[in-house]
Chain A
């Protein structure tokens, strides 16, 4: 489903980082572990097409990312990849439901309020759908970012440090939630983190050095 081949990235400062080849099958849950500064955020940005590939190749579901134009890469990301960030960013002027409608609009998918409702209900967010993000608790924000990553039924979910700042209990909760929703959506899940606690839950991992 996702493979990388001789991927490397050169920073503007000059130092180059080379990544081991990855080969992840469809529906797999995979962990990329590494200390800060080892380039794992760079890898996540490369995999999600937020950074253009410089050297090597990334193939997702048969599509080589470096062969896409900038415009098609944006659309591809919107339609195939859901990204969850450690500290979620939202659009201050939009409500929860409007966020999800915006995600559907930007990925050029039909805007389906019914589908949004059925997504929000199990995440305990249905009653918050008309609230602005600033009115939500931290846990609710985290769940909205999960909903945002799932709304367009992506084939690939990338999560960046989803548990880093959480205590054991909440880290477990988030990990369970990610695993559950990825399985339900039949999506491939890649978690990029330095959080060694997650190794217990996700036996397949790669450690970057």
Chain B
């Protein structure tokens, strides 16, 4: 027998209230831990995928949509812009490079991105197998794409129209896999890269066969967006405004837009976090009430333990330990629950955020959470423990 075992016996002697306390406590902990992990992962994902892109230019519309579609490949593009305009922009003395992007097709839900060979270099993605594309209709696969679709070099497939699955197939032309990239932990893993000319190639064919009318000249090449890298940070002060004012394009800053996005998410996260804190406070209250109530019943037990030689301090510790044990088990359950939930959520988030979520690590904040959990457990048990300390054995036993 020892103090821990005594506390433990007392806890399992009232299984229903202990279970309720554990459920409440672990629920609060798991929501907070889930929020911490999700927001941390989203933040790192957003930051990691920004690479060194200083500015994104694309068709006029929502700047956030432009960033989401052309950097993170989550939203639909805002529209098309003329390649000529991008080429003109690239000659600007403050700009070091403009990488064109053509988005609008997919294969099995993975986006096919027409660009040039500087794009994979942005994310420091290197080739694991094969080569980069040399002519239109040759593709290089991100590592997740290759793994999930079981594609190898030499395989051919037909792209589908649109950025989501189930678009109409481009039946006449097939893409051919010429290379596979190494895993980079960025959005490139989830993309199929090809030369921007491939997209023109496909869509020109289509216009012929489907006899669609277009509103623009055949020889005007179009892309979806351009990823701009500055030569000097000075450019950031004047370029965006100049582009927005003087061209048909809009300029959006990834840092600014993601900060705005995180701020928007933060409001939601803040609300859920408040809810979780309330749950933890309630569970602390519930631990307090069940200890306090059981103490009325256990008054004689406690006096009897004193008769057997227990010191006041020992009984104080006994009750305190009960609060600590509930908090500790609640914490472990909560953290396990949140990481399990994260693991399940990961499958969904990978699709939605184009990123592989890692779930089995503890964040620094989760250790702080352990401290908070213990503090709640101790706080809830403090008053009952003090009462146990002060119990007058003589009066209690004469009752």
Binding site for B on A (CB under 8 A): 41-42, 45, 48, 50-51, 70-71, 74-75, 77-79, 83, 85, 89-94, 98, 101-108, 111, 148, 152
Contacts and interface: CB of A to CB of B under 8 A. Distances in A.
A77 B1 CA distance: 19
A78 B10 contact: no
Contact of B304 (A71, A89, A111): A89
Contacts of A89: 300-301, 303-304, 397
Contacts of B13: 92-93
Given A91-B304, A98-B1, A105-B1, A74 B397 contact: no
A92 B10 CA distance: 8
Nearest to B398: A41
Interface residues of B, number: 27
Which of B303, B305, B308, B397 has the largest number of chain A CB atoms within 10 A? B308
B394 A50 contact: yes
B1 A104 contact: yes
Contact of B309 (A51, A70, A78, A92): A78
Contacts of B397: 45, 50, 85, 89
Contacts of B304: 89-91
Contacts of B306: 50, 74
Interface stretch (B55-63, B149-157, B310-318, B359-367): B310-318
A104 B5 CA distance: 14
Interface in B276-329: 297-298, 300-301, 303-314
B12 A103 contact: no
B134 interface: no
A45 B310 CA distance: 16
Contacts of A108: 309
Contacts of A45: 394, 397-398
Nearest 6 A/B pairs, CB to CB: A78-B309, A93-B13, A101-B1, A89-B300, A105-B1, A93-B9
B13 to A, nearest CB: 3
Interface of B: 1-2, 6, 9-10, 12-13, 297-298, 300-301, 303-314, 393-394, 397-398
Contact of B305 (A41, A101, A106): A106
A104 B1 CA distance: 8
Given A92-B13, A94-B9, A102-B1, 11 more contacts: A45-B397, A50-B393, A50-B397, A74-B309, A75-B311, A78-B308, A78-B309, A78-B310, A90-B301, A91-B10, A103-B309
A111 B1 contact: yes
B308 A106 contact: yes
A209 B311 CA distance: 34
Contacts of B298: 92
Interface centre among B304, B306, B398 (most CB of A within 10 A): B304
Contacts of B311: 70-71, 74-75
Nearest to A76: B309
A71 B393 CA distance: 14
Nearest to B309: A78
Contacts of A152: 309
Contacts of A106: 305, 308-310, 314
A63 to B, nearest CB: 15
A102 B308 contact: yes
Given A74-B309, A79-B309, A98-B9, A105 B2 contact: yes
B394 to A, nearest CB: 5
Contact of B10 (A42, A90, A93): A93
B305 A51 contact: no
B393 A102 contact: no
A77 B12 contact: no
A83 B307 contact: yes
A105 B2 CA distance: 7
A51 B1 CA distance: 27
Kindly name the residue among B314, B394, B398 whose own CB sees the greatest number of chain A CB atoms within 10 A: B394
A70 B312 contact: yes
Contact of B301 (A48, A92, A104): A92
B310 to A, nearest CB: 5
Interface centre among A42, A48, A93, A108 (most CB of B within 10 A): A93
A111 B5 CA distance: 14
A37 to B, nearest CB: 12
Nearest to A80: B309
Contacts of B310: 74, 78, 106
B309 A75 contact: yes
B10 A102 contact: no
Nearest to A72: B311
B67 to A, nearest CB: 60
A194 to B, nearest CB: 14
Contacts of B309: 74-75, 77-79, 103, 106-108, 152
A111 B6 CA distance: 14
Nearest to B300: A89
A88 to B, nearest CB: 8
A148 B308 contact: yes
A102 B307 CA distance: 12
A77 B307 CA distance: 7
A98 B2 CA distance: 10
A102 B8 CA distance: 13
